Amino acid sequence: MFRLFSLSLFLIVIRIVNSDSINESLNWAEVTGTRLVSCYYHNLTGLMLNEEKWQSGNTLESLANLISIIDSPLKYIFNRTFIRTDKSTGGNCYDDHQWWLLAWIQIYQVDPNVKYLHRAKDIYDTITKEAWSKNQCSGGLRWCPTRTYKNAITNELFLSSSMRLHPYTSILGKSSNYYLDWAIKEWNWFENSGMIKNYYLINDGLTSQDKSSLKNFISSNDNKCINNNGTTWTYNQGVILSGLALLYNATNNITLLNIAQNIADATIERLIYSNGILKEECEPNNCDNDQKLFKGIFIRHLGYLIPFIKDSSYKNKFISFIQNNTISILTKSRCEIDGLFGLLWNNNSSSSCQSVRNTATTSGALDLFTTLVKTKQSTTIITSSKFILFGLGNCIDEKNSSMPNFYSNRVNETICYLTAMNDKSAIAFDYQLNCNGNQFCRIRTLSDKHQTPPGFNYQDGIARNVTHTNKIPLTNCYIRRNNL
Ligand SMILES: *[C@@H]1O[C@H](CO)[C@@H](O)[C@H](O)[C@H]1NC(C)=O
Ligand SMILES: *[C@@H]1O[C@H](CO)[C@@H](O)[C@H](O)[C@H]1NC(C)=O
Ligand SMILES: *[C@@H]1O[C@H](CO)[C@@H](O)[C@H](O)[C@H]1NC(C)=O
Ligand SMILES: *[C@@H]1O[C@H](CO)[C@@H](O)[C@H](O)[C@H]1NC(C)=O
Ligand SMILES: *[C@@H]1O[C@H](CO)[C@@H](O)[C@H](O)[C@H]1NC(C)=O
Ligand SMILES: *[C@@H]1O[C@H](CO)[C@@H](O)[C@H](O)[C@H]1NC(C)=O
Ligand SMILES: *[C@@H]1O[C@H](CO)[C@@H](O)[C@H](O)[C@H]1NC(C)=O
Ligand SMILES: *[C@@H]1O[C@H](CO)[C@@H](O)[C@H](O)[C@H]1NC(C)=O
Ligand SMILES: *[C@@H]1O[C@H](CO)[C@@H](O)[C@H](O)[C@H]1NC(C)=O
Ligand SMILES: *[C@@H]1O[C@H](CO)[C@@H](O)[C@H](O)[C@H]1NC(C)=O
Ligand SMILES: *[C@@H]1O[C@H](CO)[C@@H](O)[C@H](O)[C@H]1NC(C)=O
Ligand SMILES: CC(=O)N[C@H]1CO[C@H](CO)[C@@H](O)[C@@H]1O
């Protein structure tokens, strides 16, 4: 077995500029989404491995966005996840369930089965029944059934949830302004709550004016709440954007759009490293599991706002921000060994893998890729793509041996995926193909023709080797051929 490329020869050639960036980003979106699903989707629980349960709802929404720009077999996980989960999946608190609510509505748009909408409605109905209380801070949703804390994220999510459900009132048997009225009620409360403070940034939540020593404690009859000066997390500047954009769209009240623009602008001016890359306050060393996904959420919701913006200087600035962050993570966050993206989008010592990297941080990278494509490429659905430029991949087989992958001047790159650990029925096909003369290239794919990489034909029945992988992670390598 010879080894053509050793790890030390890794060459990362990132060429993302202007017109190329959409295609590059689309390829990265496809590769990253595929990796997330094939390596980390748990077929039996419907959840992503190594993510908090609420984060799985977010990754589902990110995957729905991916499916909205590229036709992909990954779509199967929506139905699968629906069957495996219920309206209380996500966690114990009212923010947890709403991430899933938003995902189901987004999924409905790419896989139009009304059962998804009904799931979203069921989550919403529970929340309106249980979580809104007038006698604490004069309104708003409380965070959890057992917590009196009123925070920004739960309420921002409720604004967005209401507005995302608004177009579906008649399908869901509600009066035509049912969800809109809730959104307006939520926004009126939110705007006056004091949570939007310096420079239009939103703090974590509210506390009692009288008992500020007991942080975030709000007694059952306390209407004198004030901003708790908590962290201005990036996701708190994100979710509000889509809610306000849709409320603006429904009411034509331009002030709402302006507020959203101001919040987005304050974020990209202030919650950043000095070179303009998004920064979570806990970086580099103090982010907990929850916080690993916050930046991706900000970007995704900024993407939802952008189509509504009329002022082209804001619009261009926001798109430029997304593009700069995308370029940054490709050069500073990507781990060549396992294809995961790290927590820091701006780690200056980039030559190896960040210690903090998992499904959640990689899901945040997917948000960047899909958002960049969506904001620049309107709504055109692109059916599959060629891999364009990925640098060299690391091909290892199930025994961690280097696979003799290719030797040809027409093949210059590989991309590897692990098949799902829990996919008992996965079959690997091992191909050896002639690559225009020189030597050979080998490729292993799942037994599904949709998994065959672009540029290769599915060769049913003539696979050289067939391997049943029972819980054995098997590496799949996608190889890119030059068109030259
Ligand atoms: C991007 O992809 C589209 C559609 O596949 C193609 O027409 C276009 O030429 C590509 N652009 C670049 C810069 O490669
Ligand atoms: C969804 O899954 C159910 C149960 O496995 C199945 O009956 C149904 O056909 C699936 N629907 C789609 C659209 O794949
Ligand atoms: C938050 O900071 C402001 C000053 O900016 C202060 O007046 C207020 O008391 C602080 N709130 C709490 C809960 O500490
Ligand atoms: C914006 O509002 C229009 C008309 O009120 C509606 O048709 C459209 O679907 C809305 N857009 C979004 C993204 O909800
Ligand atoms: C538009 O929204 C702003 C901000 O919430 C609000 O102050 C104003 O009253 C709204 N205008 C109308 C006509 O509802
Ligand atoms: C990387 O460099 C930028 C600008 O040169 C700086 O703002 C940032 O703090 C650095 N990142 C880290 C994680 O140290
Ligand atoms: C993106 O990067 C370019 C080049 O460094 C810079 O000119 C531009 O201001 C950046 N955009 C934003 C929004 O930071
Ligand atoms: C930044 O990258 C280097 C490797 O280049 C790594 O050793 C370090 O842990 C990373 N920093 C963080 C905070 O992940
Ligand atoms: C792959 O081929 C393209 C087109 O010839 C070339 O630009 C690129 O540098 C090559 N990549 C590697 C990693 O050799
Ligand atoms: C292959 O390498 C990975 C990562 O280093 C390790 O977790 C795994 O146990 C190895 N598998 C085998 C069969 O040695
Ligand atoms: C997931 O599990 C179901 C039931 O065990 C099976 O029918 C389905 O093919 C599996 N899907 C994948 C992609 O493994
Ligand atoms: C396990 C097995 O059957 N391996 C075979 C895979 O294909 C190559 C060549 O096509 C054979 O040399 C191996 O023995």
- The full DSSP string for 8-21 is GG--------HHHH
Task: Report the separation in Å between the CA atom of 333 and the middle of ligand 3, taken as the mean of its atom positions.
Answer: 36
| CA angle 337–30–83, rounded 5-degree value | 105
Q: Does the Cβ of 212 fall within 6 Å of ligand 3?
A: yes
Q: What is the pLDDT of residue 230?
A: 95
* φ, ψ for residue 250, nearest 5 deg: -80, -25
Using most ligand atoms within 8 A of CB, pick from 270, 273, 287, 295 the residue to mutate for ligand 6: 273
Residue 163 near ligand 4, beta carbon < 6 Å = no
Both tokens assigned to 463:
């696979």
Q: Kindly give the parts of the chain with pLDDT less than 50.
A: 1-19, 378-447, 452-484
> Could you tell which of 225, 226, 228, 231 is best to mutate to test the pocket of ligand 3, judged by most ligand atoms within 8 Å of the CB?
226
**Nearest residue (CA) to ligand 12, atom 13:** 465
- Please tell me the distance between residue 437's alpha carbon and the centre of ligand 1 in angstroms: 28
Q: State if pTM tops 0.85.
A: no
> E-assigned strands of 175-243?
206-208, 225-227
Q: Find the residues whose C-beta lies inside 6 A of ligand 11.
A: 43, 423
Residue nearest to atom 2 of ligand 10 (CA): 400
Q: How far does the chain reach from its first CA to its final CA, in angstroms?
A: 28
Q: How far is the CA of 76 from the centre of ligand 8 (A)?
A: 36
- Choose which residue among 287, 349, 352 to substitute to test ligand 8 binding: the one with the highest number of ligand atoms within 8 A of its C-beta: 349
Residue 133 Cα distances to 50, 97, 140, 251, angstroms:
34, 18, 6, 25
Q: What is the pLDDT of residue 337?
A: 62
Q: What DSSP letter does each residue of 426-450 carry, written as one string?
A: -EEEEEEEE-SSSSEEEEEEESSGG
pLDDT value for 214: 63
Task: Report whether residue 20 contacts ligand 1, using a CB cutoff of 6 Å.
Answer: yes
Residue 249 beta carbon below 6 angstroms from any ligand 4 atom: yes
Q: Which residue has the tokens 């302004």?
A: 177
Q: What are 236-262's pLDDT values in tens digits? A: 999 999 999 999 999 999 999 999 999
Residue 400 CA, closest ligand 10 atom number:
1
State the helix-helix crossing angle for 18-40 and 312-332, rounded to 10 degrees.
60
Is residue 229 helix, strand or coil?
coil
The answer, yes or no, to whether any atom of ligand 12 lies below 6 A from the CB of 432, is yes
**Would you state the pLDDT for residue 450?**
54
